[in-house]
Each structure stands twice: as structure tokens, then as C-alpha cells.
């Protein structure tokens, strides 16, 4: 089941968001914004849409958790380049939003008795170094496809670490 979810996250969330971001913008910073604007709603709504379309449960919320981490890191990187209260406030707000989203995810999964969903919070910690590297690489001039590949590697570390914790908790 984890393999199916991993592939669904890649094919139904990441792939369309990447392709549309590339098609809609030539400017790399704008592509990142377009990517997040497309991928986050797909990750949140994909669970219901894909489950209904395929006839088996497809869990796309893990991408949303991972992207919330990436967005917080993006805002932090932006704030580090700008002195001032506004930048510091934006970084704090991004961190608070990340924490609130993670708490909300945990609470919702607990309310729905979705133990699988709770386990995806554990993959964030090992994915942070690669996610931070991805954001730093993406902010450079002309990064090419390296941030995409590194971001997919960071998501893989996040996803499969969470899956390993779930397997360990249930066996």
C-alpha cells in the first residue's frame, strides 16, 4: 500500500505541479510559487478525488505535510536575505503556521482513527537537512533541475522514514 501511495503522490501531485509550473512561467522564482500554489491544494484534495476515482484509499496528505515544511523553509530563506521586522515577522508566522498545520493534521488523523496519517509526522526530522539544501539550491541563479531532483529525494526520505516508523509501530 505504501508503494501505491508514494507513486500516487509523485504522479498525481508532484508531476502535474512541476509540469504546470514549467509551462506557466520561465522565471524560476515564479515557477516555485506556481508549483506551491498548485501542489498544496492537490495534496489536500487528492485523497478524496483519487480515492473516489480509483476505488481504493489513496493518501496524498503526506505531500501537504512535506510542502508545509518546504514553504516554511522558503519563507525563512527569504527572511534571512532581508533585514527588518517584516521579514522576521514573516519567518515567525511561517513557523507558527507550520506548527499549527502539523498539530491540526495530528488532531484530524487522531479523530478519524487514521494511525497511518499520524506516522507521517515522524519523517520531517530526517528530511529537514535535504529540504533546507533544496531551498538553498533553488534560490541560486540558474539552478537547473537540481532542486527538483533534490526535492524529490528529500520527499522520499520523508515518506519512507515515516513508512518505516509506521511498520515498526504496527509489527
Return the top range by mean pLDDT from 27-31, 59-63, 141-145.
59-63
C-alpha cell at 5: 501511495
C-alpha cell at 60: 496524498
When mean pLDDT is compared across 16-30, 75-89, 108-122, the lowest value belongs to 108-122
* 10: DSSP letter: I
- Asked if residues 34 and 25 have their Cβ atoms less than 8 Å apart, the reply is yes
Cα distance between residue 9 and residue 171, in whole Å: 25
C-alpha cell at 141: 541563479
Q: Using one digit for the tens of pLDDT, what is the confidence trace for 84-106?
A: 899 999 999 999 999 999 999 88
Q: What is the pLDDT of residue 89?
A: 94
C-alpha cell at 156: 522520499
Cite the DSSP H helix spans in the chain.
2-9, 15-24, 28-54, 61-80, 85-111, 115-119, 124-138, 146-170
Between 82 and 38, the higher pLDDT residue: 38
Question: Residue 108: which pLDDT band, with cuts at 50, 70 and 90?
Answer: confident
Q: What is the pLDDT of residue 118?
A: 79
Q: Is the pLDDT of residue 146 over 80?
A: yes
Q: Using one digit for the tens of pLDDT, what is the confidence trace for 2-57?
A: 889 999 999 999 999 999 998 988 877 788 889 999 999 999 899 899 999 999 98
Residue 52 has a CB neighbour count (10 Å cut-off) of 9
The whole model's pTM is what? 0.89
Q: What is the pLDDT of residue 170?
A: 82
Amino acid at each position: 500500500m505504501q508503494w501505491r501511495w508514494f507513486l500516487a503522490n509523485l504522479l498525481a501531485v508532484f508531476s502535474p505541479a512541476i509540469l504546470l509550473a514549467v509551462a506557466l512561467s520561465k522565471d524560476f522564482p515564479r515557477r516555485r510559487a506556481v508549483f506551491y500554489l498548485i501542489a498544496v491544494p492537490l495534496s489536500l484534495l487528492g485523497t478524496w478525488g483519487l480515492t473516489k476515482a480509483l476505488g481504493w484509499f489513496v493518501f496524498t496528505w503526506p505531500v501537504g505535510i512535506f510542502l508545509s515544511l518546504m514553504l516554511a523553509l522558503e519563507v525563512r530563506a527569504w527572511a534571512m536575505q532581508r533585514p527588518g521586522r517584516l521579514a522576521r515577522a514573516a519567518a515567525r508566522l511561517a513557523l507558527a503556521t507550520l506548527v499549527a498545520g502539523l498539530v491540526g493534521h495530528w488532531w484530524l488523523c487522531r479523530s478519524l482513527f487514521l494511525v497511518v496519517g499520524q506516522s507521517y509526522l515522524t519523517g520531517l526530522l530526517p528530511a529537514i537537512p535535504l529540504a533546507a539544501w533544496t531551498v538553498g539550491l533553488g534560490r541560486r541563479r540558474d539552478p537547473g533541475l537540481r532542486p527538483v531532483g533534490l526535492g524529490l529525494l528529500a520527499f522520499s526520505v520523508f515518506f519512507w522514514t515515516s513508512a518505516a516508523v509506521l511498520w515498526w509501530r504496527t509489527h
